[in-house]
Amino acid sequence: MTDEVIVAVEGRAGRLRLNRPKAIHALNRPMCASMLDALDAFGTDGRVEVVMIDHAEGRGFCAGGDIRAAAESGKTGGAEAKAFFFTEYQLNHRLFTYEKPVVAFMDGITMGGGVGLSLPARLRVATENTRFAMPETGIGLFPDVGGGWYLSRLPGRTGQFLALTGHRLNGAECVALGLATHLLPAARLDEAKRRIADAPDDRAAILDDLSEPAGEAPILAHAEAIDRLFASDDLDEVLAALDADGGDFARAQRAVLATKSPQTMKVALRLLKEGGGMTDFADEMAQEYAVACRIVVKHDFIEGVRAVIVDKDNAPRWSPAPDAAGIDAIFAPLPEAQAWTPHEGARP
C-alpha cells in the first residue's frame, strides 16, 4: 500500500481517495497497485456495498499518469513505463468489470489516467470545477486508459474531435455527452458521499436529489461542424476538411492540430475506429498496451514531454507522420509472453 492512496471503509462504502496533491494526484504504479489490492479486498468484504473514488485534497481529481517518469524510462528502453501501463490498464479493466457498484467524483481536473478511473464507474459525478480532457496527442502519446472504447461511443464524431484536439469539457458538457451521469455543486459532495455510505442502495436517488440542472453545454453548438469536419478516420482528410472550410471554428481547430503529434493523431484515429467495433473491454486494453509499448520509446513521446512538461517551451519538434505500414507496426499484437493480461481478481 502507499500513502498516496487513502483506503478506508466508511459506513457501507469502500473509499479510494487519491492523495498526491502536489502532482494533482497523477498516478504512478504503486498507486495503481494499491487500488487493485483495495478493490480485491472490498470485493470480499461483506461490509462494503459500494465503492467511491475521489481525491483527498487539492484542485483536481486526477491530472493523468506520471508522464515525466514514463518519458525518462522511454529513453532507456521503457521497462518502467511499460510496467506502469500494464498495472494501470489492469486497474482500468478491474474497475470496468467490478462486481460492486462504483461511484466516481470528477471534481476538478480529470484528464488521462483520471478518465480511466472515472469512466468505468456506473455513476460519475461532475461539478462546476470539472475540466475533462484527453490531451495526450499534445505530448506524443495517445488517448489510452480505454480511450479507444469510450471516445468511440460518444455521439457523432465528438470522440474523434476530443481525441485529436485534447479539447477540455466542463461539467455540463460531460453530462450532455454522457461522460458524467450527474452534475452536483462541489459544496454538496461531502453530503453526497456521507449519504451514499449510509444508504448505498439509494445512491442514484441521492445524487438525483442533490443534482442541479446541467445548463448550457457549449460543445453542442458545434456538433454539426464537428461531425462534418472530423468525419474521416484519415488524418490527412480531416486536415483537408478543416483547411477547406474557412469558418472560425475550423480555423481554430486547424491551429490546435498544428501543435499536436502527427504520429499520435494517426494512432488516435485508428484506435477509435477499432475500439468502436470491439465487444470486450479486455481486447481494448490489450491493444492499447501493445500501442503504448511502441509509443513510449518513440521520439515524439520523449520530445513532447520535454517540450510541454520538462522545459515548457511548448515547441516540440515532431517526427514526420508515419505511413500506413508504420501505423500497422505500432498496432501489431505483442508476442504472447509480453502481452497484457487482466488482473487475476477481475471478473468477466
pLDDT of residue 277: 97
Contact 29, 88 (CB under 8 A): yes
pLDDT of residue 348: 44
Per-residue confidence at 1, pLDDT binned at 50, 70, 90?
Answer: low
pLDDT of residue 64: 93
Question: Would the pLDDT of 347 be above 60?
Answer: no
pLDDT of residue 59: 81
Nearest to 152 by CA among 275, 36, 260: 275
Which residue carries 461490509 as its cell?
47
Report the helix count and the strand count for the chain, using DSSP H and E.
16, 9
Helix (H, G, I), strand (E, B) or coil at 202: helix
What is the arrangement of strands in the sheet containing 123-126, beginning at the earlier edge strand? 5-10, 13-18, 50-55, 102-106, 123-126, 182-183
Question: For residues 62, 23, 10 and 208, what is the CA-based torsion angle, rounded to 10 degrees?
Answer: -30
What b/e sequence results for 2-20 when a residue is b if at least 16 CB atoms lie within 10 Å of its CB, and e otherwise?
Answer: bebbbbeeebbbbbbbbbb
pTM: 0.96
Which residue carries 490498464 as its cell?
89
Per residue in 276-330, pLDDT tens? 999 999 999 999 999 999 999 999 999 999 999 999 999 999 999 999 999 999 9
Which sequence positions are flagged as catalytic? Answer: 65, 113, 136, 144
Q: Provide the 10 A C-beta neighbour count for residue 60.
A: 23
CATH class of 5-219+260-338: alpha beta
* Gap between the Cα atoms of 304 and 302, Å rounded: 6
H-only helix segments in the chain: 29-43, 67-74, 79-96, 113-118, 147-150, 158-165, 171-177, 189-198, 203-210, 223-229, 235-245, 248-257, 262-275, 281-295, 299-305, 324-331
Nearest to 97 by CA among 270, 284, 271: 284
Domains of the chain by residue range: 5-219+260-338
pLDDT of residue 2: 75
pLDDT of residue 344: 85
* Gap between the Cα atoms of 242 and 103, Å rounded: 39
> How much of the chain, in percent, has pLDDT values that exceed 90?
96
* Gap between the Cα atoms of 260 and 265, Å rounded: 7
Question: Would the pLDDT of 208 be above 60?
Answer: yes
Question: Would the pLDDT of 346 be above 70?
Answer: no
Is 261 exposed, middle or buried (CB count within 10 Å of its CB: 0-12, 13-18, 19+)?
buried
Per residue in 210-250, pLDDT tens? 999 988 999 999 999 999 999 999 999 999 999 999 899 99
Mean local confidence (pLDDT), 76-102: 97
Nearest to 136 by CA among 154, 116, 112, 161: 112
Q: Which residues pair with 105 in a beta bridge?
A: 125
